[in-house]
């Protein structure tokens, strides 16, 4: 990942961002009965393929958060010299423990057979033309090995719209286990980054609370809030497009959730002083929500691994304007005494600390309060907040700060930010 695509304050963590975390996090649905032994049995089966007697460590960080560590360093596979080229987003997913799905395959030799072991490479330059047969000579990164499940005819023949698993990943370079939700009963377990789970803990949804999730797709945090409330909160989930809202509804159904009401709407416009109530969906009148989660649209520069980044300074500057509009709407909708939780999955100052400073300056009715449980590090210095304010927010990054020590597990995750406000008047 190129340094020069980042603001100077980000250049000291670009290497961290270019690598995946050393563990996988799952959220456990507390409305269903998940047995951790199921996962251990799957790992035992996989250990046979990997020719090892040890399985990765599995443990519950909290009742709704499961941690899965890496395979042993003793496992080794020689390269096959049979290269499958995948796009860079697919390569990043493989490093996080995913299979290779058909749309991500750019190049595949013609002389391969089903279930043949292949080497998986990411196209780092974006120069590979779909359907390449010969060896790819541009910049590429080896990301893992796996078994071929589709041939060229399945991927590239005229009229074919490929879907499904093209390469069943055996072992990524990251050594993260290849585990996905389809291995379990529907809605029991969800792949989710640790800071996103922490964000749900900060919201701490309770029965009978009226909660708004302003930018809810794909519904991971929405379902977490519903599960935390034992499916007894009243939750409104909003996102812009019908397709995204349909996904939220599908996820709620699979999780056994009935307390979420999802709408396709522009959340920057979801406050309207003339609205008569909440019965017919957005827009809503002022002072009607106990809690609001604003997991804001952002530059996404905290996602790991970021193998390539093409974001421009102009694009980076654009996010803060929509974030300000969303915060403005949220303040109107929030009840006095209610809480607003603001989060992003990025690492820039403008979208995080400086956005908190802007909010406090422009909305005297809001007080900043601690984002308990405080598990990530404090906010960055010299970004418009004093030390007391920095200590109340959470920034997930590899940095150390004397204001608050951070356990390693909360440092080796994605870049993320959480702040919490209470409306006092």
> Consecutive sets of 10 residues in the chain, 425 residues long: mean pLDDT of each?
47 86 96 92 94 94 97 92 96 97 95 96 95 93 97 89 94 95 89 98 98 97 98 97 96 97 96 85 95 97 92 92 98 98 97 98 98 97 96 96 95 97 94
The set of catalytic residues is 345
Spatial separation of the C-alpha atoms in residues 359 and 65, rounded to whole Å: 31
Residue 107 lies in a domain: yes
Residue 24 lies in a domain: no
Q: By C-alpha distance, which of 104, 257, 99, 122 is closest to 171?
A: 99
Same domain? For 248 and 338 the reply is yes
Strand partners, 56: none
Same domain? For 397 and 252 the reply is yes
Residue 185: both structure tokens together: 């009963």
CATH number of the domain bearing residue 216: 3.40.50.150
Say if CB 414 and CB 192 are below 8 A apart: no
Residue whose entry in the numeric block shows the structure tokens 């499961």 = 66
Q: What is the pLDDT of residues 46-91, one digit of tens each?
A: 999 999 989 999 999 999 999 999 999 999 899 999 999 999 999 9
Same domain? For 161 and 200 the reply is no
Is the previous residue joined to 373 through a cis bond, with omega within 30 degrees of 0?
Answer: yes
Torsion region of 231: left, alpha or beta (phi above 0 gives left; psi -120 to 50 gives alpha)? left
Say if CB 83 and CB 135 are below 8 A apart: yes
CATH number of the domain bearing residue 153: 2.30.130.10
Residue 59 lies in a domain: no
Residues of the domain holding 415 = 193-423
Q: Which residues contact 219 (CB under 8 A, 6 or more apart)?
A: 237, 247, 248, 251, 252, 262
| Side-chain-facing half-sphere of 212: CA atoms under 13 Å | 36
Residue 342 lies in a domain: yes
Say if CB 155 and CB 108 are below 8 A apart: yes
Residue 115: both structure tokens together: 């279930």
The full length of the chain comes to 425
Same domain? For 398 and 332 the reply is yes
Residue 396 lies in a domain: yes
Domain boundary among 123, 142, 172: 172
Residue 398 lies in a domain: yes
Domain boundary among 126, 142, 172: 172
Residue 338: both structure tokens together: 């209610």
Spatial separation of the C-alpha atoms in residues 397 and 378, rounded to whole Å: 10
Strand partners, 339: 291, 422
Spatial separation of the C-alpha atoms in residues 64 and 227, rounded to whole Å: 9
H or E element at residue 155: helix 152-156
Predicted confidence at residue 12, as pLDDT, reads 67
Spatial separation of the C-alpha atoms in residues 190 and 31, rounded to whole Å: 13
Domain boundary among 172, 204, 225: 172
Spatial separation of the C-alpha atoms in residues 336 and 306, rounded to whole Å: 40
Same domain? For 166 and 254 the reply is no
Say if CB 322 and CB 344 are below 8 A apart: no
Q: By C-alpha distance, which of 357, 343, 361 is closest to 420?
A: 343
Same domain? For 233 and 105 the reply is no
Q: By C-alpha distance, which of 11, 299, 1, 25 is closest to 122?
A: 1
Same domain? For 115 and 199 the reply is no
CA 365 to chain centre: 31
Residue 62 lies in a domain: no
Same domain? For 379 and 314 the reply is yes
Strand partners, 169: 146
Spatial separation of the C-alpha atoms in residues 213 and 235, rounded to whole Å: 7
Residue 16 lies in a domain: no
Same domain? For 159 and 292 the reply is no
Q: Which residues contact 122 (CB under 8 A, 6 or more apart)?
A: 85, 86, 87, 88, 90, 91, 92, 94, 140, 141, 143, 307
Strand partners, 210: 234
Predicted confidence at residue 10, as pLDDT, reads 57
* Counted domains in the chain: 2
The torsion angles phi and psi of 193, rounded to 5 degrees, stand at -65, 145
């Amino acid at each position: 990942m190129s340094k020069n695509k980042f603001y100077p304050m980000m250049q000291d963590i670009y290497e961290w961002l270019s690598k995946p975390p050393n563990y996988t996090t799952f959220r456990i649905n507390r409305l269903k009965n998940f047995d951790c032994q199921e996962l251990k049995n799957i790992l035992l089966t996989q250990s046979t393929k990997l020719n090892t007697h040890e399985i990765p460590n599995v443990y519950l960080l909290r009742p709704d958060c499961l941690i899965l560590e890496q395979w042993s360093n003793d496992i080794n596979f020689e390269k096959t010299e049979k290269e499958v080229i995948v796009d860079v987003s697919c390569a990043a997913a493989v490093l996080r423990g995913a299979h290779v799905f058909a749309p991500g395959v750019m190049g595949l030799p013609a002389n391969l057979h089903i279930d043949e072991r292949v080497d998986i490479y990411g196209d780092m330059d974006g120069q590979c033309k779909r359907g390449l047969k010969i060896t790819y000579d541009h910049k590429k990164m080896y990301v893992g090995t796996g078994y071929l499940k589709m041939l060229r005819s399945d991927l590239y023949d005229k009229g074919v719209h490929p879907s499904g698993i093209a390469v069943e990943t055996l072992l990524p370079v990251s050594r993260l286990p290849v585990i996905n939700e389809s291995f379990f009963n529907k809605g029991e377990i969800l792949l989710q980054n640790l800071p996103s789970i922490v964000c749900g803990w900060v919201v701490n949804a309770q029965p009978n609370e009226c909660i708004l999730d302003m930018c809810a797709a794909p519904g991971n945090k929405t379902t977490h809030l519903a599960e935390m409330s034992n499916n007894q909160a009243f939750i409104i989930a909003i996102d812009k497009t019908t397709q995204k809202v349909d996904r939220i509804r599908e996820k709620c159904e699979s999780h056994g959730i009935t307390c979420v009401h999802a709408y396709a709407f522009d959340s920057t416009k979801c406050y309207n002083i003339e609205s008569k109530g909440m019965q017919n969906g957005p827009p809503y009148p002022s002072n009607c929500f106990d809690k609001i989660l604003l997991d804001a649209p952002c530059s996404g520069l905290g996602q790991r691994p970021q193998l390539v980044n093409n974001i421009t300074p102009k694009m980076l500057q654009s996010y803060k304007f929509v974030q300000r509009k969303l915060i403005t709407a949220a303040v109107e909708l929030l009840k006095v005494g209610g809480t607003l939780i603001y989060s992003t999955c990025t690492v820039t100052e403008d979208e995080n600390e400086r956005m908190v400073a802007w909010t406090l300056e422009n909305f005297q009715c809001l007080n900043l309060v601690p984002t308990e449980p405080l598990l990530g590090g404090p906010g960055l210095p010299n970004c418009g907040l004093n030390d007391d304010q920095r200590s109340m927010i959470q920034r997930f990054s590899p940095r150390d700060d004397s204001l608050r020590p951070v356990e390693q597990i909360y440092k080796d995750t994605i870049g993320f930010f959480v702040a919490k406000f209470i409306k006092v008047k």
